[in-house]
Amino acid sequence: MLRTRLATAAVAIPILLWLVLASPVWIFGGFVLAMTAVGLDEVASMALPDHRLGRVLCILAGLAFACAVIVRGPDSLGLVLLVVLAGGLVLSLADPDMPGAASRLANGIFAALYGGFLLPHVVSLRLLPGGERWVVFTIACAMAADTGGYFAGRFLGRHKLFPRVSPAKTVEGAIGALLGAVLGGFVVWRFLPPAGLSPRSVASVAFLIGGLAQTGDLVESMLKRAYGTKDSGWILPGHGGVLDRTDSLVLPLVFAYHLKAGWDWWT
């Protein structure tokens, strides 16, 4: 398992660096939208396993949310939310199974937001001045947290962190993840410093990213348990599906986007 994960990472990381730092925006945006579509299919399959039309509508709604996030227009996001909510309510009116319709509507809107709203913030972050380095910094911190948590939990883990949600995670692994995120943040800052991020702030920002990465991982574990699913998908060898691979990235990317946008606004 570890060998497969390392082999996948060895191929994926250089491609990811090229996409973030050197590819045209339309290629990067297209790649993220493609991954978003796959992630939407995964979460829709968990949330609406017996309702094909609902899954299709969920994917379309999620892609609309993704496009609204990428264009960074509050009015666009509000319009998409209005259309999705109103459309879902109208369709529910035509469903004779009222309790089931309400449940499917709630699950579908949640799946569209979870799968379509969060990940596309990476495109919004890249579009900010100097955003490419912020993307690399954020992803590196999240990946370092994942690596630090894995090894600390494997060799030092003794005390369960949240057994009801993720029995394998330990307190020692969580601490290792935070330390890994800070270490990864300083390594990236040394060779590819993000604009506006001072040495004093690296540790605190990386620490927060490490905490958000673990929170995202726990949230997806909770969703899989709630929906009775082991893995969200299989597209990445040794890593599961897109949701399994991006669960620790989505919250840090949203945080980094708003942090960088706020910095730009104040300065």
Taking the C-alpha atoms of residue 158 and residue 176, their distance in angstroms, rounded to an integer, is 13
Q: Are 68 and 77 in contact (CB under 8 A)?
A: yes
What pLDDT is recorded for position 9?
Answer: 63
Amino acid (one-letter) located at 170: T
Report whether pLDDT(202) > 80. yes
Cβ neighbours for 69, distance < 8 A, ≥ 6 positions apart: 77, 116, 117, 120, 121, 123, 124
Taking the C-alpha atoms of residue 61 and residue 37, their distance in angstroms, rounded to an integer, is 10
The percent of residues in the chain predicted with pLDDT above 90, rounded, is 66
Report whether pLDDT(198) > 80. yes
Report whether pLDDT(232) > 60. no
In terms of phi and psi (left: phi > 0; alpha: psi -120 to 50; beta: otherwise), the region of 170 is beta
What pLDDT is recorded for position 265?
Answer: 63
What pLDDT is recorded for position 1?
Answer: 54
CB atoms within 10 A of CB 63: 19
Report if pTM > 0.85: yes
Going through the chain in order, the beta strands assigned E by DSSP cover 160-162, 166-170
Report whether pLDDT(266) > 70. no
What pLDDT is recorded for position 113?
Answer: 96
Q: How confident is the model at residue 245 (pLDDT cuts 50, 70, 90)?
A: confident
Buried b (16+ CB within 10 A) or exposed e, 190-223: eeeebebbeeeebeebbbbbbbbbbebbbbbbeb
Q: Which domain holds residue 112?
A: 2-266
Q: How confident is the model at residue 222 (pLDDT cuts 50, 70, 90)?
A: very high
What token pair was written down for 98? 């009222």
Report whether pLDDT(4) > 70. no
Domain count, the chain: 1
Task: Round the average pLDDT of the chain to a whole number and report it.
Answer: 89
Q: Which of 49, 54, 37, 27 is closest to 116 using CA atoms?
A: 37
Q: How far is CA 51 from CA 54, 83, 230, in A?
A: 5, 20, 20
pLDDT digits (tens, 9 = 90+) for 144-196: 999 999 999 999 988 999 888 888 899 999 999 999 999 999 999 999 999 88
DSSP 200-211: HHHHHHHHHHHH
Taking the C-alpha atoms of residue 45 and residue 232, their distance in angstroms, rounded to an integer, is 9
Cβ neighbours for 136, distance < 8 A, ≥ 6 positions apart: 17, 20, 21, 188, 192, 194
The DSSP 8-state label assigned to residue 233 in this structure reads -
Report whether pLDDT(234) > 60. no
Average pLDDT in the 32-39 region?
A: 96
Phi, psi angles (nearest 5°) of residue 211? -65, -40
pLDDT digits (tens, 9 = 90+) for 85-100: 999 999 999 888 888 8
